[in-house]
Chains A and B, each alone.
Chain A
Amino acid sequence: MTRFSSALAIAEAIRTGKKSAVSTIQETLNTLRTQDNDIRCVTHIFESEALEQAQKIDAMRQAGHTLPPLAGVPFGVKDLFDIAGHVTTAGSIVLRNMPPAQKDAAIVQRLKAAGAIPVATLNMDEFAYGFATVNAHYGTTRNPHDPARMAGGSSGGSAAAVAAGFLPFTLGSDTNGSIRIPASLCGVWGLKPTFGRLPRAGAYPFSASLDVVGSFASSLDDLITTFYVMDGSSPAPEPAADTLRVARLGGWFASNLAPALGAALDRVCASLQATNTIELPEVASARAASFLITAAEGGNLHLPRLRKQAEEYDPATRDRLIAGALLPSSTYLQTQRFRNWFRQKIHEVFQNTDVLIAPAVMGEAPLLDEPTIMVDGKPVSARANLGLFTQPLSLPGLPVLCLPLKNTGTLPLGLQLVAAPGREAALFSIARALKNSGLAGCVPLPEKELA
């Protein structure tokens, strides 16, 4: 069975001949076809292309060639990554008549060069504008831990496919939290690398100032291995965890936490001997700036189509994009000036700290039929507020690893580990220490969801 296998275990089985790439891909395709009815994370399956690539890998092995590191490993992509020969729809019907992509997205090319095989596109909020993966065109992706609850978004299909054990790793994108929120709600590892580090070529844009491509994985080693493949670099040495200066983010990031999340955060900080608490300045404005930049850039991007075919958009997406397109230029420019101010403050923080710890989402996944969360004692829209802790950290473009907490006695909860730009290796070191201490790891599905 390939279900719930890690990418590295699958690659090892194929490399040593315990399993063929073709049988691995056949099993994966069968899982996607038969097990996704309750989750609905898959939007398209690349059956013939995937099997063709698998046959080439088996032929390479039979010919005695050395296989690349991810040979035969299946993966899925958020429905905004170009796959050659396929129309990239970005979770919408608006682009359905566009020509097929001429080539694969840049990070897909790098993964394929390492032997990995894209097998499916995965559901998302239309044009990545949302935190729920409730899609008027392609349906709602449900949380594998409890199908009555949100998977989170906008990369919800990618997180759910890993949580359900369908795929060992998947690709997503994060503008305001679209990797970190579904990773947290689905209990899997997620990585939003430093802004600008991974190439975005072939990923359908949303907000050029904030968009980052990244990944989800069921194991930390898979997350790290696939990151360096996508980065086109050799793995950097991880600094020893006990040499890193770790602090907890307070103030904005210490309010509105579910009790189990607060307790887990305390355990994590105790394990790392992180006694310092740091408050970032003007967090509410940083979140607002992120929100406004996204709205203005998304609205501008879609304005030509909104003039002609607004009725084809999901009404909720359409109204958000139009409101963004109507923002005055002075407001947009002020947010971009604020961004530079905030960047300077963030760099000051990292002069004395290596890794910051913050909650990813305030609690468990909201119910789909009651999509509210509590903020400052009041029920508010989950779709608008799940990014409370992720949006302020989007603005400075920092690398953030979303870490699934273990043994919380609840549905999945996640933390954000945040480092200075380009210091992903520090995140990997702290994440590894927490995994080794039993505090972090992909959250297994309850028995009833596996039946």
Chain B
Amino acid sequence: MTAPSSDQENLVRARATAIELELSPTCLPGVLRNSALLAHYAKLVEQHPLPDTCEPAYEYVP
């Protein structure tokens, strides 16, 4: 995982502001690292095309 850019830091800060969550300086590096990891996983899921009829699994029955 490469070092987070200032753009990524700005994005994470903006998202935190949107949900009224203050990011302390001590947690920021760890949050950026974890956000980068989740963004990597999000790409893996989002690259998979799904039909419009595929609904979210709200009431999931295995």
- Contact status of A322 and B44, CB under 8 A, knowing A196-B61, A336-B56, A337-B55: no
Q: Contacts of B61 on A, CB cut-off 8 Å?
A: 196, 421
Could you tell me the distance between the alpha carbons of A195 and B61 in the complex, rounded to whole angstroms?
Answer: 8
How distant is B54 from chain A, measured CB to nearest CB, in Å? 5
Q: Which of A329-351 contact B (CB under 8 A)?
A: 331, 333-341, 343
Report yes or no: B45 in contact with A325, Cβ–Cβ below 8 A: no
A285 contacts partner chain B, Cβ-Cβ < 8 Å: yes
Q: Which of B1-58 contact A (CB under 8 A)?
A: 12, 15-16, 19-24, 26-27, 30-31, 33-35, 37-38, 41-42, 44-48, 50, 54-58
Report yes or no: B62 in contact with A289, Cβ–Cβ below 8 A: no
Report yes or no: B42 in contact with A310, Cβ–Cβ below 8 A: no
Q: Contacts of A148 on B, CB cut-off 8 Å?
A: none
Q: Is the interface of A mostly helix, strand, loop or mixed?
A: helix
Could you tell me the distance between the alpha carbons of A375 and B59 in the complex, rounded to whole angstroms?
Answer: 35
- B46: nearest residue on chain A (CB-CB)? A334
Q: Mark A286-306, 1 if CB is under 8 A from B, else 0.
A: 011101100100000001001
Q: Contacts of A328 on B, CB cut-off 8 Å?
A: 15
Report yes or no: A285 in contact with B62, Cβ–Cβ below 8 A: no
A318 contacts partner chain B, Cβ-Cβ < 8 Å: yes
Could you tell me the distance between the alpha carbons of A384 and B48 in the complex, rounded to whole angstroms?
Answer: 23
A109 contacts partner chain B, Cβ-Cβ < 8 Å: no
Q: Which of A162-199 contact B (CB under 8 A)?
A: 194-196
Q: Contacts of A292 on B, CB cut-off 8 Å?
A: 38, 41-42, 45
Q: Range of interface residues on chain B?
A: 20 to 34
Interface-central residue, B44, B46, B48, B57, by most chain A CB under 10 Å: B57
Q: Contacts of A287 on B, CB cut-off 8 Å?
A: 41
How distant is B30 from chain A, measured CB to nearest CB, in Å? 3
Report yes or no: A336 in contact with B58, Cβ–Cβ below 8 A: yes
Give the contacting residue for A398; candidates B33, B56, B62; CB below 8 A. Answer: B62
Interface-central residue, A287, A303, A334, A421, by most chain B CB under 10 Å: A334
How distant is A388 from chain B, measured CB to nearest CB, in Å? 13
Report yes or no: A303 in contact with B21, Cβ–Cβ below 8 A: yes
How distant is A304 from chain B, measured CB to nearest CB, in Å? 10
Could you tell me the distance between the alpha carbons of A139 and B47 in the complex, rounded to whole angstroms?
Answer: 40
A327 contacts partner chain B, Cβ-Cβ < 8 Å: yes
- B20: nearest residue on chain A (CB-CB)? A307
* Interface residue ranges, B against A (CB under 8 Å): 12, 15-16, 19-24, 26-27, 30-31, 33-35, 37-38, 41-42, 44-48, 50, 54-58, 60-62
* Interface residue ranges, A against B (CB under 8 Å): 194-196, 209, 282, 284-285, 287-289, 291-292, 295, 303, 306-307, 310-311, 315-316, 318-320, 322-328, 331, 333-341, 343, 384, 396-398, 421-422
15 contacts between A and B (CB under 8 A): A288-B42, A303-B19, A315-B30, A319-B31, A322-B16, A322-B34, A323-B34, A324-B34, A326-B35, A328-B15, A334-B50, A336-B56, A338-B50, A339-B57, A341-B48
